[in-house]
Chain A
Amino acid sequence: MRKRISAGACLLLAAAWGLQALAQAPAAEDFPELRVTGVDQPAVTRGREVYRAQCVSCHAADQRGTRRGSDLSRSVLLYNDTTGAELGAFLKRQHGQQVERVSFPALTDAQASDGWKYLRASIRVVAARSYAPPSILVGDARAGQAYFNGKGRCSGCHSPTGDLAGIGARYEPPMLQGYILMPQRLPTPAVPGEAANARTLRATVSAPGAAPVTGELVRLTLFEVQITDLATGARRSWEIKDGQPKVAITDPLQGHYTVRRTLTDTDMHNLTAYLAGLK
């Protein structure tokens, strides 16, 4: 049975690791800074330099390993080493496969500690949800414009020189793309010229023997309905019993709900590219 990967079976480095390893190390500009909250950032930065100079040729810039050195993002030694002491002692011993066994007797405790902090931070970033995303703008803005004015029927409610003017500067692309499918009910910041409640759900409450009342929906359950009366601004509530009063909901954003049934991912990417360019 194959044993689980551990740093004891990895961290392969060239025997004459010093200058040779440095020669194979990526340039600093190709090896991005790792920034994670809740860590000793100066130590992580120093540890990154230790890793870049001495480890990366076998274990890769993303710690996932190469043919010469295995995947540190799954190193049990690193996960179990909660203080850095194990890694430091380990690196001073010989490790790696038989052909290329190496050790780092000259590694100082401070360097080992920095390297450990860098690797522990890297594991968190690589394995969890917080890895830095690449740009999501992969669509064709021209095709997006055609969709906006054609199949998507967006231009029936929106204008690139009106309510959407400058929208590409107001929102990051993922937020913008999300709003195509689920716009904010209460825009922040508000779209210029738009009423504060222009996007809220409307409820029309029809009680027997009374005139229907329309307002912004506050709450609707099987047992009660609450609205803010559009005419007076007052909060009003009704108990619902035996199906009375009747409540009808309308949604100013219904167009977004309708379009999502036919919207393809390509349409979405193109539309986002178009909107992101409205700056």
Chain B
Amino acid sequence: MKECKKAKRLLSAYLDGQASRPDTLFVKQHLEICKPCSKEYNQLCQVKELTVAKKHQKLPEGDFIFSLENEITNQEAKNLPQSISLGSLARRLIFFPAALVILFFFLFFTLGSPDGYVSLEDKILNQESITTDTAARLILGINS
């Protein structure tokens, strides 16, 4: 019984010719004297024959590669930059000048005014008389 257990465990590898030399010898000798193990071995042989003879699936000649290449082309087209439409071109053209204007105002207000500089707003609040020349100087940032 102990030998049968060992033989049954080795039958599959023996069938595939993958058992070690001592194991192969053991199984071979055991099968000659043990009917139940011999029966099991025959059944395993039939199972293997059926698996090997299993109908092989074949892809339609040429069709698979054709559809595969189409799929690759589609995927690559998706990854390419989109052709620039008029709308997106306009959006791009507007974006950069708008960004420059925003940057200008940001720098203008965050860097602060130089010492002694009086803004046009302050002049108006202090009710100072504003001439065209002063206004121009203030707008241009020339300290008066």
Chains A and B form a bound pair: no
- Contact surface of B with A, Cβ cutoff 8 Å: none
